[in-house]
Structure 1
Amino acid sequence: MRIVHLCPLGKLVRTMSSTAGLRERKKTETRQAVHEAALRLTLEHGFDNVTVEAIADAANISRRTFSNYFAGKEDALLYGDEQNLRGLVQRVRDQPVGRTAWQALCGALDSHHAEIGDADRDLHLRTRLALQHPSLLARQLAGRHRLESELSHALAEREQPSGTSPEVITAVFLAALRVATQWWCAENETRTLRELTDRALDQIVHAFG
């Protein structure tokens, strides 16, 4: 007679969860490897001279696998932007209850700078590339627009200035970040990104506060 050993349901669920977690971690690692390969090749050869095939080879994956993760080289290059914005959304959600929408945004940004610091060389490179290549800039703006709605939803339950929607607050805040980043990428700029971001946000507060 064959004896069948049944796995307890709780153990089975934990095993399935662990397997799913490992799978997602592997996907994240692959995306990051492709992103880093795209940045490295672009820095070495220029954006126009880099192909999807070259990025896939540098990341040790097939062209088909590349397509499972990114629609094109633009998306691979801008993956860091997406991660930064998704991280900002989560930091806003993690802000203490009782903070207003604007306070939550500023607190989330403080948390981001405390963790990442000002030496984000990849952000500097991505921004300068986007300003130089219209196709990359268009893709960058489209990606930020998609995530802008997530940030607005994260603010929806917090206190807003009278008559001001979370969508408007989000748009103004992200515009300040975009302008500060462009200042930071100027040829002779010596101030840190944090200093420039604070300057842009202060101007908004003085203008509309």
Structure 2
Amino acid sequence: MTDSATSDGLRERKRAATRSAITSAARTLTAERGLNGYTVEEVCEAAGISRRTFFNYFPTKEDAIIGHADDDIPSDIIEEFVAGGAGSPAGQISPTLFRDLVTLSLRLAEDMSASEEDTRQLIGVVRKEPQLILRIIGVTEQREAQFARDVARREGVAADHPVVQMAVVLLSTIARKSSMAYFSDGNTRSYPDLLLENISAASVLFSQPFNTPDTTAAEGQS
């Protein structure tokens, strides 16, 4: 690794730590006082930053509460996933895509315990300030669009390739369903266990034989 790459990595880790500190402070203050019960200056004081630094990272308090899309998936894990498709010809879906998507999902699940308290805090904040749901939807769409670009880059196809789009929709839906079950009241199962159960269910469903229905007869009768 070059000195430049090392410097860039350190710089990005520092930026990620600053983003995390701002988000944590904003969520804590929102949980305590509500969205309109504190100022940006109070977030800055709690995070140990200047007002200028805050706005270098987030345009509003609402954005700070939700967090940054770049912090969703660590870049080293994504690059490892992308490298897994290097052995396949560009433009052809690699035979290990599904397997590697499952592996990627489990790698990300390993971080669940580390971020669990943050997630629970965000759930509590959204329950208190439900208007934040629209912001979450927006960030989720950004993250899914980036994930599609990463899958497409691995496979050497366009981001709107139907297999890429299905991979994003399927994995995002499974992750969402697993998270809802994990954070539900009374749950005693681990997130990886729930995730694997849902992935297995989807695998069983999609492994069933499928023949494209012949619609020509129906069209002729209409």
TM-score of the superposed pair, with normalisation by structure 2 = 0.70
Does 1:33 find its partner at 2:29? Answer: no
Give the direction of change, closer, same or farther, for the CA distance of 1:148–1:202 in structure 2 (3 Å limit). Answer: same
- Aligned runs of 1:145-156 on 2, under 5 Å? 145-156=141-152
Counterparts of 1:138 and 1:167, CA distance in 2: 22
Structure 2 letter corresponding to 1:92: F
Counterparts of 1:131 and 1:91, CA distance in 2: 36
The structural deviation recorded for 1:155 is 2.0
Q: What corresponds to 1:70 in structure 2? A: 58
Structure 2 letter corresponding to 1:122: D
Counterparts of 1:89 and 1:180, CA distance in 2: 21
Q: What corresponds to 2:214 in structure 1? A: none
Give the direction of change, closer, same or farther, for the CA distance of 1:164–1:17 in structure 2 (3 Å limit). Answer: closer
> Which digits, 9 at most, give the CA deviation of each residue in 1:20-60, with x for residues without a partner?
66554443332222122123323433445344232122112
Give the direction of change, closer, same or farther, for the CA distance of 1:167–1:37 in structure 2 (3 Å limit). Answer: same
Counterparts of 2:163 and 2:5, CA distance in 1: 39
Give the direction of change, closer, same or farther, for the CA distance of 1:181–1:133 in structure 2 (3 Å limit). Answer: farther
Q: Percent identity?
A: 24
Structure 2 letter corresponding to 1:207: L
Counterparts of 2:97 and 2:84, CA distance in 1: 10
Counterparts of 1:100 and 1:179, CA distance in 2: 24
Runs of 4+ displaced beyond 6 Å? 16-19
In the alignment, structure 1 segments of 5+ residues that lack a partner are 1-12
The structural deviation recorded for 1:193 is 1.8
In the alignment, structure 2 segments of 5+ residues that lack a partner are 87-93, 208-222
Does the 8 Å CA contact 2:109/2:191 hold for their aligned counterparts?
no
Does 1:118 find its partner at 2:113? Answer: yes
Match of 2:82 among 86, 93, 107: 93
TM-score of the superposed pair, with normalisation by structure 1 = 0.73
Give the direction of change, closer, same or farther, for the CA distance of 1:121–1:61 in structure 2 (3 Å limit). Answer: same
Structure 2 letter corresponding to 1:152: A
Give the direction of change, closer, same or farther, for the CA distance of 1:130–1:194 in structure 2 (3 Å limit). Answer: farther
Does the 8 Å CA contact 1:81/1:123 hold for their aligned counterparts?
no
Counterparts of 2:203 and 2:54, CA distance in 1: 44
Counterparts of 1:137 and 1:22, CA distance in 2: 33
Give the direction of change, closer, same or farther, for the CA distance of 1:131–1:59 in structure 2 (3 Å limit). Answer: same
Counterparts of 1:207 and 1:159, CA distance in 2: 27
Counterparts of 1:50 and 1:89, CA distance in 2: 37
Q: What corresponds to 1:141 in structure 2? A: 137
Give the direction of change, closer, same or farther, for the CA distance of 1:81–1:202 in structure 2 (3 Å limit). Answer: farther
